[in-house]
Amino acid sequence: MSLVRQPAVADRFYPGDPRELTRMLDGFLANAQPRTPPPKAVIVPHAGYIYSGPIAASAYATLAPARESVTRVILMGPSHRVPFRGLATSSADWFDTPLGAVPLDRVAINQALALPQVRSMDEAHALEHSLEVQLPFLQRVLVDFSLAPFVVGDASPESVAEVLELLWGGPETLIVISSDLSHYHDDRSARRLDAATSAAIESLRPDDIGYDQACGRTPVNGLLTVAKRRGMQARTLDLRNSGDTAGSRDQVVGYGAYVFH
């Protein structure tokens, strides 16, 4: 019998109705202005769509020319609910969303499970939103893909980089890193912090992104480690905060969208 991971944050972080969700996603993507060729990797935010959806869409819109050629997605995001060491993948066969079920790439997952820092841990995925909110976007921009999902706990950037290198693949594989930026600073302080984080990402400097700069700093820094070794280029597509989209400017959360070529 197939094991399906059910949506945990539908009707909270994004619409649970498929038609409403599709309209929202298509609106975000239509308003995005893709200014780069399809990337190998992206960093995208994971808040509720009314807050971070437009920013995430700026990265996802760049995938349109690769919608048929990308058939595997390596997805990593931080753990918000369950503390653990290393990286947690899933024993599920499918991850469900209001737009349908996404098959998991058991070959890729089993490759990763051979590494000592990776384990199968379904409880890390059950309520985690950082991965889930990326799936409807991927379902709208890609024709057909399988998923290798990893929630990142207490881990080193190098241990994340090792998993990414193992599963890097070719043009059929997209790397998606899920992370918001600074949390609950006033608007002016947040802009200063987020600008510094963006500069570190564009310069591929993982050592310059600290605890208070990105909740997904570990997977972000893992990607930066690989990108630096491979001589990649990173570009900021959008950098805003919740005060720009749907919230107060007194305490904001930062959101950035980045592409890597």
Tell me: the pLDDT tens digits for 7-28? 999 999 999 999 999 999 999 9
Q: What is the pLDDT of residue 176?
A: 99
The conformational region for residue 184 under phi > 0 = left, psi -120 to 50 = alpha, else beta, is left
Tell me: the pLDDT tens digits for 89-125? 999 999 999 999 999 999 999 999 999 999 999 999 9
Find the length of the chain: 261
Q: Is the pLDDT of residue 35 over 90?
A: no
The pairing of strands 41-44 and 146-152 is: unpaired
Cβ–Cβ < 8 Å for 252, 110: no
Work out the pLDDT band at 33, boundaries 50, 70, 90. Answer: confident
Computed on alpha carbons and rounded to an integer, the radius of gyration of the chain in Å comes to 17
Tell me: the pLDDT tens digits for 174-221? 999 999 999 999 999 999 999 999 999 999 999 999 888 999 999 999
Quote the CA–CA distance of 131 and 146 in Å, as a whole number.
14
Q: What is the pLDDT of residue 258?
A: 98
Question: In the 8-state DSSP scheme, what is residue 251?
Answer: S
Average pLDDT over residues 17-43: 95
As separate numbers, helices (DSSP H) first and strands (DSSP E) second, the chain gives 10, 12
Cβ–Cβ < 8 Å for 181, 254: yes
Tokens of 99: 């737009």
Q: What is the pLDDT of residue 2?
A: 78
Q: Is the pLDDT of residue 1 over 80?
A: no
Average pLDDT over residues 42-68: 98
Q: Across all residues in the chain, what is the average pLDDT?
A: 97
Tell me the domain boundaries of the chain: 4-260
Quote the percentage of the chain above a pLDDT of 90.
96
Sheet holding 4-5, edge to edge: 4-5, 94-97, 100-103
Q: Dihedral angle at the C-alpha atoms of 47, 49, 50, 55, nearest 10 degrees?
A: 80
Question: Per the confidence metrics, is the pTM higher than 0.85?
Answer: yes
Tell me the C-alpha to C-alpha distance, in Å, between residue 43 and each of 39, 235, 238.
Answer: 11, 10, 11
Quote the percentage of the chain above a pLDDT of 70.
100
Work out the pLDDT band at 34, boundaries 50, 70, 90. Answer: confident
Q: What is the pLDDT of residue 141?
A: 98
Query: Which residue, chain included where needed, has tokens 């050629």?
Result: 69
CATH for 4-260, among 3.40.50.2300, 3.60.140.10, 3.40.50.300, 3.40.830.10?
3.40.830.10
Weakest mean pLDDT among 29-33, 58-62, 161-165: 29-33
Tokens of 169: 């693949």
Average pLDDT over residues 120-142: 98
